[in-house]
């Protein structure tokens, strides 16, 4: 019996259409799996480039709406962190870590040896009232720790001077986790990175400042660790700690792999139909 010839066109077009739609959906999901994120090299370069520079005398607002000049916190070492009050995970956890470090530093050096400032960079949402509520919510009432709100027009210049990088995302802001240490003259002497802030990471350079000794430069190894901490640490609400997050890379790799499998499947089907047709 002669073998029946089957035309390639006999394969239902609906299967091609369904396959193509599935492939496009996979590619679209893979593309959406990569939200905007900070560039590690650029963030580190921006942050480290300001070390040694002197900050300007900006006017910000206290929780009671009273204007205060940044220079009023100088005359002693100053720790500066940037937060946004709409953050419900990273900023509160990072502030609590700084609070624990400050408590340890107070025990070690005394309560009047340094100042601390937290600045809200998301204006106008980070108003003086919002900054006050944030401090109250997390039980921070140190007399030498101020929560300040800059005018919206000052945010760009202020964050640039401190080497602080942030990027708006659908979930809020992706930003550098850093605490900037300034000397009594207002020069930036050290950037300390990460969601967890061991007291020694701040205590050792602070001790050198209080003793009037020069700070040793950060090693290349430390800078490498800082790159990992800036982009690869996320807050885990189940443990209350920061962890390395590989989920984005796995999602992208999984989406691309699935799309490739679908493409190979339909290519093999098409080749098989052509062989049968011949």
User: pLDDT-derived band of residue 161, with 50, 70 and 90 as boundaries?
Assistant: very high
Q: Is residue 184 scored above 90 in pLDDT? A: yes
Domain with 214 in it: what CATH number?
Answer: 3.40.30.10
H helices of the chain, in order, are 13-32, 40-49, 90-109, 128-137, 155-162, 199-211, 220-232, 247-277
Is there a single domain that holds both residue 31 and residue 54?
no
User: pLDDT-derived band of residue 247, with 50, 70 and 90 as boundaries?
Assistant: very low
Two tokens at 167?
Answer: 């990027």
Is there a single domain that holds both residue 137 and residue 270?
no
Q: Is residue 36 scored above 80 in pLDDT? A: no
Domain housing 55: 50-219
What would the mean pLDDT of 244-262 be, rounded to a whole number? Answer: 55
User: pLDDT-derived band of residue 93, with 50, 70 and 90 as boundaries?
Assistant: confident
Is there a single domain that holds both residue 80 and residue 199?
yes
182 sits in which H/E element: strand 178-182
**Cα–Cα dist 40/256, whole Å:** 24
pLDDT digits (tens, 9 = 90+) for 218-230: 655 455 555 545 5
Q: Is residue 2 scored above 60 in pLDDT? A: no
Q: Is residue 109 scored above 80 in pLDDT? A: yes
Q: Is residue 194 scored above 70 in pLDDT? A: yes
Instruction: State the distance between the two ends of the chain, measured CA to CA, in whole angstroms.
Output: 16
Q: What is the number of domains present in the chain?
A: 2
């Amino acid at each position: 019996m002669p073998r029946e010839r089957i035309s390639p066109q006999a394969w239902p077009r609906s299967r091609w259409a369904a396959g193509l739609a599935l492939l496009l959906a996979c590619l679209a999901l893979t593309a959406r799996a990569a939200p905007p994120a900070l560039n590690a090299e650029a963030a580190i370069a921006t942050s480290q480039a300001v070390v040694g520079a002197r900050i300007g005398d900006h006017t910000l607002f206290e929780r009671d709406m009273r204007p205060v000049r940044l220079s009023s916190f100088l005359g002693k070492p100053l720790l500066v962190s940037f937060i946004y009050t709409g953050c419900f995970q990273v900023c509160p956890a990072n502030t609590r870590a700084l609070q624990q470090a400050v408590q340890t530093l107070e025990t070690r050096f005394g309560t009047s040896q340094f100042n601390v400032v937290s600045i809200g960079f998301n204006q106008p949402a980070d108003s003086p009232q919002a900054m006050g509520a944030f401090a109250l919510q997390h039980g921070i009432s140190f007399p030498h720790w101020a929560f300040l709100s800059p005018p919206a027009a000052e945010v760009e210049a202020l964050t640039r001077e401190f080497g602080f990088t942030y990027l708006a995302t659908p979930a809020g802001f992706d930003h550098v986790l850093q605490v900037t240490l300034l000397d009594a003259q207002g020069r930036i002497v050290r950037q300390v990175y990460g969601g967890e802030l061991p007291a020694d990471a701040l205590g050792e350079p602070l001790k050198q400042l209080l003793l009037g000794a020069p700070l040793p430069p950060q090693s290349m190894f430390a800078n490498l660790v800082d790159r990992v901490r800036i982009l690869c640490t996320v807050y885990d609400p189940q443990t209350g700690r920061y962890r390395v997050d590989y989920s984005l890379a796995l999602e992208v790799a999984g989406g691309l792999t699935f799309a490739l499998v679908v493409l190979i499947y339909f290519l093999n089907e098409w080749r098989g139909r052509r062989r049968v047709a011949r």
